[in-house]
Structure 1
Amino acid sequence: MRLPIYGPRLRRVARTQFGWPRLRPGQFKPMRAVLRRRDALVVLPTGAGKSAIYQIPAVLLPGPTVVISPLLALQQDQIAALNERGDPRIRAVRVSSAETPKERREAVEAIRRGEAEFLFITPEQLSDPDRLAEVRSLGPGLVAVDEAHCISAWGHDFRPDYLALGDMIEQLGRPPVLALTATASPPVREDIITRLHLRRPEIHVSGLDRRNLFLEVAYCPDDAYRWRRLTTMLDEEQRPGIIYVATRRAAEELAERLTTSGYPATFYHGGMAAGVREQRHTDFSDDKVDIMVATSAFGMGIDKPNIRWVAHVALPGSPDSYFQEIGRAGRDGEPARALLLWRSEDEAIQRFFQGGSPDPGELRDLAGALHKGPIGKTALQKATGLGPRKLGQYLNLLEQVGAVQTVAGHKLSVPARAPLPAAAAEAASSAYERQQAVVRSRTDMMRGFAQSRQCRTETLLAYFGEDLRKPCGHCDNCADGIAHEIAAAEPEGPFPVHSRVHHDEWGAGMVMNYEEDRMTVLFDSVGYKTLSVPVVVQQRLLVSE
């Protein structure tokens, strides 16, 4: 077999332009896809070198690289790392709300003159039609979408302008697209592909088994027991670390209780003023805060290698968010710990956060406003009275049912043969209910992970569509010997893992894993379901597709 020509070129650029002596596992294949001008979706854990996957090939491709990233702090870290080498071939500039109009103009001109290669920009900036046209005129050769899970309806972050990225990229001249994320289960991956309009993308998922990260779960019958387990860990472990809680109030109260008890802690949540959030983010990054108590709003964009532990004192809403959050520990490769302390009551909180159904009347009125002709989002807000977040959610649902499209000038209009407003509202409500079925099933899977006696890493990776094949050796179930006993006793299931099956009521699905006499299937329409293997076999509930 002839070796591809891409390897030596990529390694030479890595060494000479970036000072990296070698490529990391999981980087080469998606880099090769980029050089072949193929769309690609890459799932690599935090700290595995996702940025290099677009940075190194960009040097070899014609045209500048546009990097769409949601957080200014994350952008700034990446820009600083590129510019510190003083090489114009990898210089980066930024267009964001943090720059003055003059600085934004100078950034674009630097790209146009060939004095910079990377243009970092937020989705909100690209949503401006004039800015979009300006970026298009630069002739970008590659678009990299960082934190791509933010675009997903199933994701754990929501940015309305992310939902329009697929259309924005089309209007940039449709260069190849590279989507990058640290966590994406199969439904999230499919959502990213659909919403970014990726064309026959290569999908690369690797490195999800963090061998230096010890996974531990404890059921807590009451809050007193949970407090004792938490403080015991704080006494045993080095710092810094992050404690994740479910609500803003819980963040404030736990931080105060810890501080009063001799464990100085600071809290962080999305309800704080932007300046305060930024300062606390910086203080934690600079080792001025040892214990951060936070909601899920904290963590994205933290490039901090020495986090020694991540604790959850409530059941996360999904394995997606859990994996993203524990991935912030031990990025330096040194031993780190992930401790989940959960109670049955935690599930009720997550159900509450999943919220109520969209208002059919508001959906109908929005669909009706769209029928009056091409209209911008600002005018739609005035016509309907909807806030930007709800408007984004509703447009997302209407887009799924073919009731809205983006046209020239960044306006929204109704496609030919679109459903009438009442029918569009009904179809959009049904689409929402299907989504919620999957969201609820993800919470079920998180509880299943917490209760599992199987290898924790096996269970977690199975959720993401990966097969570890043997117990990991770095979780509590492996340390106790339970995981090895179960693995040795497990019979072969009736269907291969990752095979497609069909259920009369729930339709098509994929077998994700087996544990003892149970199997988990991810159904396209209703999400994750855990079934009894004997019942499946006896009643022939599933058939191979």
Structure 2
Amino acid sequence: MRLDIPVYGPRLRKVARKHFGWPSLRPGQFKPMRAVLRRNDALVVLPTGAGKSAIYQIPAVLLPGPTVVISPLLALQQDQIAALNERDDPKIRAVRVSSAETPAQQREAIEEIRDGRAEFLFITPEQLSDPERLAEVRALEPGLVAVDEAHCISAWGHDFRPDYLALGDMIKQLGRPPVLALTATASPPVRDDIIARLRLRDPEIHVSGLDRRNLFLEVAYCPDEDYRWRRLTTMLDVEQRPGIIYVPTRRAAEELAGRLTEAGYPAEFYHGGMAAGLREQRHRDFTDDKVDIMVATSAFGMGIDKPNIRWVAHVALPDSPDSYFQEIGRAGRDGEPGRAVLLWRSEDEAIQRFFNGGSPDADELQELAAALHQGPQTKTALQKATGLGPRKIGQYLNLLEQVGAVRTGARNKLTVPARAPLPAEAAEAAIEEYERQQLVVGSRTDMMRAFAQSRQCRTETLLAYFGEDQKRPCGHCDNCADGSAAEVDAAEEEGPFPVHSHVRHGEWGTGMVMNYEEERMTVLFDTVGYKTLSVPVVVEQKLLEPA
């Protein structure tokens, strides 16, 4: 079945009204829906709360075969399933196969899809890694695969999850239906990584709505911790709640929550080192408005579907604009005014550099590469053979895959490709690849500092990082409010190369011009990441040429 282009709009709107009760489609939804109906792969970047789920849900009603939704969080899946099933419409009924269901419930879910009594199968990457489960899902002949929170598949992403790495192979084994990748934030390196790892075929890329006009962006440099504390408590005195305070470490989360509570600002903390039950309880309490102030590390992230968060504060420099944008996007999802406050110190950067450190162990990599040469094996078997933990082995396999030392073969077993490097060679190449990636990771921290120091419109600076163009100052950031953004805007001249044009540097290779600010230009290089260069020096010394 192939729908004619002129009927896309009316059919999509009719389905939206009839099956979902939505009177209209939001900006940024129609074009990717059309790509899905054309059976094209697509990558969609839309901010939190902009209706990403609708992009696969509405076309799914018109496509033959069920839709498989791969999502990392059970709580997020449950919310989406409940929203679909409350309509009591078999055309949009959703079922789930996960660790939360009994074997009998899992069998019933598969049967409902097979019999046409349900349209959407929600599943985790862990379930698909089971060869028998993968064969079951393949037999359902899915018409579409939607990958939610797709940035998790990226080595550059801030929520790196090794379980996502094999998804490209899994989807191929499902019969390779069209793939729709969805995420709330993805800079160009992350987008490229998603496309490569999911093996998207000439995907249509849709990025829109990244300017959250109801959010006021504010940054303050704090010379010392006392000043940062005073700025934070002043904000708490005047702002409505609830809100989230992001901190860089688990210890900082516990200490700041305690200090705030003692000072009369009742707060709880949340981080990845807490017991799972306590994490779930804190998450639930915040969702149910029992906690007004949550002090958290980045672990308090995906799955926070709470519309009335009034502000998000960072009391340290985030590791990258990717993380920052994802985290501030949790404020003001109800469309009401929200506030994003970044309180930073120069010392914050050292914390991020520390977290980004820790090179892979060459001996461990070589041992893993040697174990792979013993024949096709599962990841579990490799863990037993090497003694490596699940997270570390996932990262090591990721690196070895990138240097051609491993691939996923039949029945999801890991094998060594023909002409693969020998173990010692593979380990050396993997470490070189890791070091190259660290250059990009470090450059993202540099860009976060540049954002904090910028006098340019905050939104303009952020969108430039994500490869988008903002034509005029946003009017909802501190630099626009105090007039400095207008001064910078007026002082800027056309640079030597157009924004988003490709250039070449003698040492760093090819890159893309991302932004100009005063006499500086930012270029995203393929090999070393983001670099800020002096425009007069670039012109005088002819450092760049068109690529």
TM over 0.5: yes
Match of 2:279 in 1: 277
From 154, 157, 160, the counterpart of 2:159: 157
In the TM superposition, what is the alpha-carbon distance from 1:383 to its structure 2 partner? 1.2
| Residue type at the aligned position of 1:263 | Y
2: CA distance, partners of 1:368 / 1:58: 45
Is 1:91 paired with 2:88? no
Is the partner of 2:21 in helix, strand or coil? coil
- Offset of residue 44 of structure 1: 0.2
Does 1:167 pair with 2:169?
yes
Q: What's the RMSD between the two structures over aligned residues?
A: 0.8
Q: Could you say which residue in structure 1 is the equivalent of 2:56? A: 54
What does residue 357 of structure 2 align with? 355
Within the alignment, does 1:189 sit opposite 2:191 as a pair? yes
TM alignment of 1:141-540, pairs within 5 A: 141-540=143-542
Cα offsets for 1:275-306 (capped at 9, x unmatched): 11111111111111110100000021111111
Q: Which runs of 4+ in 1 moved over 2 A?
A: none
| Greater shift in the superposed pair: 297-306 or 492-501 | 297-306
Q: Which residue of 2 aligns with 1:38?
A: 40
1:311-354 CA distance string (max 9 Å, x none): 00010000000000000000111110000000011001101111
In structure 2, give the amino acid aligned to 1:438: V
- Once the two structures are overlaid, the 10-residue window that deviates more, 11-20 or 298-307, is 298-307
Local SS of the residue matching 1:157? coil
Alignment partners' CA distance in 2, 1:155 and 1:299: 13
Amino acid at match of 1:80: A
- Partner residue in 1 for 2:139: 137
Match of 1:20 in 2: 22
Residue type of the partner of 1:451? Q
Question: Residues of 1 paired with 2:281 and 2:102: CA distance?
Answer: 21
Q: Distance in 1 between matches of 2:5 and 2:319?
A: 45
How far apart, CA to CA, are the structure 1 residues paired with 2:203 and 2:531? Answer: 28
d(CA) in 1 for partners of 2:287, 2:168: 33
How far does residue 55 in structure 1 lie from its aligned partner after superposition?
0.2
Q: Which range is displaced more, 316-325 or 278-287?
A: 278-287
Distance 1:369 1:295 in 2: 36
Structure 1 CA distance, aligned partners of 2:411 and 2:19?
Answer: 39
TM-score (norm 1): 0.99
Q: 1:200-220: per-residue Cα shift (whole Å, max 9, x none)?
A: 000000000000000000000
Task: State the alpha-carbon separation in 2 of the partners of residues 265 and 103 from structure 1.
Answer: 39
Cα distance between partner residues in 2 of 1:532 and 1:469? 23
2:113 maps to 111
Structure 2 distance, partners of 1:9, 1:97, is 36
> 2: CA distance between counterparts of 1:344 and 1:413?
46
* CA–CA separation in structure 2 for the residues paired with 1:378 and 1:71: 22
3-state DSSP class of the match of 2:490?
A: helix
SS in 2 for 1:4: helix
* Alignment partners' CA distance in 1, 2:101 and 2:155: 30
State how far apart, in whole Å, the 2-side matches of 1:71 and 1:3 are.
35
Q: TM-score of the superposition, structure 2-length normalised?
A: 0.99
1:38-78 per-residue CA deviation (whole Å, 9 max, x = no partner) reads: 00000000000000000000000001000000101100100
Distance 1:400 1:128 in 2: 23
| Cα displacement (A) at 1:3 | 6.8
Q: How many angstroms apart in 2 are the aligned matches of 1:97 and 1:364?
A: 34
Aligned equivalents of 1:366 and 1:17: distance in 2?
51
Question: Which of 78, 97, 102 in structure 2 is aligned with 1:76?
Answer: 78
**Equivalent-residue separation in structure 1 for 2:148 and 2:5 (angstroms):** 30
Report deviation, 1:355.
Answer: 2.5
Counterpart of 2:279 in 1: which secondary structure? helix
Distance in 2 separating the partners of 1:280 and 1:168: 34
Task: Give the AA of the match of 2:538.
Answer: V
Q: Deviations over 1:85-114 (max 9, x none)?
A: 000110001111111111111111111111
Deviations 1:346-405 (A, max 9, x none): 001101111311111111111111111111111111111111111100100010011101
Cα distance between partner residues in 2 of 1:297 and 1:3: 43
CA deviations over 1:176-223 (Å, ceiling 9, x no partner): 000000000000000000000000000000000000000000000011
Pick which of 185-194 and 254-263 moved more. Answer: 254-263
Figure out how many residues of one structure are paired with residues of the other and give that number: 544
Write the distance in 2 (CA, Å) between the matches of 1:203 and 1:537: 33
Q: What amino acid maps onto 2:400 in structure 1?
A: L
Where in structure 1 are there 5+ consecutive unaligned residues? none
Deviates more, 1:125-134 or 1:501-510: 125-134
Indicate the SS of the match to 1:50.
coil
SS in 2 for 1:17: helix
Q: For 2:415 and 2:305, how far apart are their aligned partners in 1?
A: 41
Q: Note the alpha carbon deviations across 1:240-283, whole angstroms, 9 max, x for none.
A: 00000000010011111111111111110000111111111111
SS at match of 2:165: helix
Distance 1:299 1:80 in 2: 21
Deviation, 1:129, is 1.0
Distance 1:510 1:186 in 2: 10
What residue identity is the alignment partner of 1:56?
A: I
Aligned counterparts of 1:170 and 1:431: Cα–Cα separation in 2: 26
Q: Which runs of 5+ in 2 are unaligned?
A: none
Partner amino acid, structure 1, of 2:49: G
- Find the residue that maps to 2:166 and give its secondary structure: helix
Aligned with 1:242: secondary structure? strand
Aligned equivalents of 1:293, 1:133: Cα separation in 2:
43
SS of 1:233's equivalent in the other structure is: helix
Work out the CA distance in 1 between the residues paired with 2:290 and 2:54: 29
Equivalent in 125, 128, 140 of residue 126 of structure 1:
128
SS of alignment partner, residue 386 of structure 1: coil
